[in-house]
Structure 1
Amino acid sequence: MDGKRTVVVGEDGTSIGLISAGSGDPLLLIHGGMGRAEHWDPLWTALSSRFRVTAMDRRGRGTSTDGPNYSAAAESADIISVIHHLAERSDRGVDVVAHSIGATFLVDAAADNPDVRRLVFYEPPGPETVAGGWANHITALVARGEVGRAAASFLRDVVGLSPGDIDRLREQSGGSDVLEIAAATLPREARALETIDFAGARTIWAPTLLLLGSTSLPWAGSITRQLESLIPHATVVELSGHGHEGIDTAPDLVLAELLAFFDQPTTPP
């Protein structure tokens, strides 16, 4: 992805790496688990033709450093710092699109946040995503050095990919960077998900789009509908025939839904 690289320092001193391109209203993109800013490459050119688009590397990967202590609250605080940084350069507020666990951490970051203009959450996971001791399982695999098995479990049991999809993804990614990220972040993010309660969603005042894959695992629909009931101005749109990884499998469909949402006139809630 082409763009200008910058850094925002979070409240605990963590350096959050950003890449930005285009011009127009600010749009922040937040990736999910085992990812980095480049996850948004399939949408990057189209979005940067309409917005001043910025993708962040969440802490502990890519161009970002790691903080002294890890928690869901620290992840949300990083997002708040980036949103505030972007909002200082705009008088219209910041639009935010977040995928998977990035969307989970956005919930608290967006709660009662005057810098947020509009929001898109694509299948944020929560406690039911890691039910049945999955966090213990993934932590044990990584501790034994079986990072590949841990990554495969994540893709199969959380994302819902088939063995064939996992093999194709492994071949496309080359593996090394993904496995480094998995080893450093999978166990701690699984533990963080066990603590999520989404209470902050009740004070998200911005217009909100909730994207839900029609073929996603049951947890995705359950949590999405929960958020629909909590967020005052939320709408669910189903991505027919696709699941949790629509950004890769159906970028044109995801782009169309994003632009349809952002092209709607906004009125104060």
Structure 2
Amino acid sequence: MDGQRGHVETSDAARIGTLTAGSGPSLLLVHGGMGQLERWQPVWDQLTQHFRVTAMDRRGRGSSTDSPNHTADRESADISAIIEKLNSDTGTSVNVFAHSIGASFTIAAVAGNPAVGKVVLYEPPGPETVAGGWPEKVTELIRSGRIGPAIASFLIDVIGLSPSEVETLRNQAGAFDPRPIAAATLPREARALQTLDLAVAEKIACPVLLLLGSESPAWAAHITAYLQATIPNASTAVLQGQGHEAIDNTPSNIATLVTRYLNRSGHD
């Protein structure tokens, strides 16, 4: 991924790294769990043809530093800080495309935020996603050094992949090793989801497109339906034949869908 590196300092002294490329309306990309900004590589070239795209490394991974006492509020504040910086740099509103838990933290960041233009949220998880004691399970796996089984549990029990799909991902991982990120962030993000209040979504004034895979786990459909009913100006697009990982499986279709929505005139 080509672009210009930058960073934003947060109120708790974390340094959030960014990568920016392209020209046009401002678009911030917020990745999900167990990844970093490079996860946007499948859609990067297509999106940067239409937007001035900034991808962020969420705290504790990639080019970003961390601080003690992780909370969902701090993750949301990081996103807000970058939106503020992009708005200040360009003098125009900032669009946001966020995936998975990054989308969960984005909800509070864009609620009532006048600097935001349009938002695309792809299957943000919530408390029901980690019900049934999964946070305790993954915390124990990480504590006992069983990082591989913890990753597999996340992908199968939470994301809804099959064991064969997990094996395919493992074989395609290449140079990127997710184990350090998983060890540092899976338990804390699971705990953050337990107490996440999605009701703040009712304060989102800008247009929002919710993306939902037709093959995604039940929690994704439940939460998407809740957000559709809660956000005043929301619409939903169902990704037929896809689950939680359509950014990897059908990147051109995702980039085209997002581009058309963000470039569409009016508040639809």
Give the TM bin, normalised by the shorter chain: over 0.9
What is the identity, as a one-letter code, of the residue corresponding to 1:87?
N
SS in 2 for 1:177: coil
1:113 Cα shift?
0.5
Query: Aligned partners of 1:206 and 1:195: how far apart in 2?
Result: 25
Aligned length, in residue pairs: 268
Q: How big is each residue's C-alpha offset from its partner over 1:127-160, in whole Å with a ceiling of 9 and x where there is no partner?
A: 0000000000000000000000000000001111
What is the identity, as a one-letter code, of the residue corresponding to 2:95?
D
Mapping of 1:22-171 within 5 angstroms? 22-171=22-171
What is the identity, as a one-letter code, of the residue corresponding to 1:199?
A
What is the identity, as a one-letter code, of the residue corresponding to 1:232?
P
Q: How big is each residue's C-alpha offset from its partner over 1:145-176, in whole Å with a ceiling of 9 and x where there is no partner?
A: 00000000000011111111111111221476
Q: Does the Cα contact within 8 Å between 2:46 and 2:252 map onto a contact in 1?
A: no
Q: How big is each residue's C-alpha offset from its partner over 1:76-124, in whole Å with a ceiling of 9 and x where there is no partner?
A: 0000001101010223300000000000000100110011110000000
Q: Does the Cα contact within 8 Å between 1:239 and 1:253 map onto a contact in 2?
A: no
SS in 1 for 2:219: helix
Match of 2:234 in 1: 234
Match of 1:218 in 2: 218
Instruction: Give unpaired runs (5+ residues) of structure 1.
Output: none
Q: How big is each residue's C-alpha offset from its partner over 1:23-55, in whole Å with a ceiling of 9 and x where there is no partner?
A: 111100000000100110010001011111000
Q: Does the Cα contact within 8 Å between 2:50 and 2:259 map onto a contact in 1?
A: no
Mapping of 1:252-267 within 5 angstroms? 252-267=252-267
Q: Give the RMSD, CA atoms, in angstroms.
A: 1.2
Mapping of 1:1-12 within 5 angstroms? 1-12=1-12
Q: Which runs of 4+ in 1 moved over 3 A?
A: none
Instruction: Give unpaired runs (5+ residues) of structure 2.
Output: none
What is the identity, as a one-letter code, of the residue corresponding to 1:149?
P
Query: Aligned partners of 1:84 and 1:64: how far apart in 2?
Result: 18
What is the identity, as a one-letter code, of the residue corresponding to 2:220?
A
Query: Aligned partners of 1:178 and 1:162: how far apart in 2?
Result: 18
